[in-house]
Amino acid sequence: MPVYFTTDHEWIAVDGDIAMIGITNYAQSALGDVVYVELPAVGKTFAKGDEAAVVESVKAASEVYAAVSGTVTEVNDALVDEPAKVNAAPETDGWFLKLKLADPAELDGLMSRSAYDDYCESL
């Protein structure tokens, strides 16, 4: 399953025409202890760059953006009761939502893991 990254510190794991989206370890580390997550409704449609979810920590609130256009097919309801999953496993069990891709070509502008790691080192 290919995984892509954004400069806003989101990751996107693609399986066929479904993209799972979450925040990176770098992002959760910068946020600190996550205490609240607001998820979108299933069926909601986003354009690339739209605010798709909100994550609040003891330090700050931050938006999670739709790195690609699509329609929400599933959300990680477990995060509502256990927002700390974002800290414990940001790039696995701490995922936020799944989108049915509207335009797979939008993935072309995203970074690979190595490019993202290089990007983070430059910050």
Hey, where are the domains in the chain? 3-103
**Which residue in 4, 47, 39, 53 sits closest to 24, CA to CA?**
4
Would you state the pLDDT for residue 35? 97
The number of angstroms, rounded, from the C-alpha of 113 to the middle of its chain's C-alpha atoms is 14
Q: How far apart are CA 52 and CA 55, in angstroms?
A: 10
**Residues 54-66: pLDDT tens digits?**
999 998 899 999 9
Q: What is the mean pLDDT of residues 55-83?
A: 95
Q: How confident is the model at residue 74 (pLDDT cuts 50, 70, 90)?
A: very high
DSSP 123: -
Q: What length does the chain have?
A: 123
**Residues 6-42: pLDDT tens digits?**
999 999 999 999 999 999 999 999 999 999 999 999 9
CATH hierarchy code of domain 3-103: 2.40.50.100
Residues in Cβ contact with 99 at an 8 Å cutoff, skipping those fewer than 6 apart: 18, 19, 21, 46, 66, 68, 69, 70, 71, 72, 73
Structure tokens at 114: 């190595």
Angle 48-99-76 from CA coordinates, rounded to 5°? 120
* pTM for this prediction: 0.95
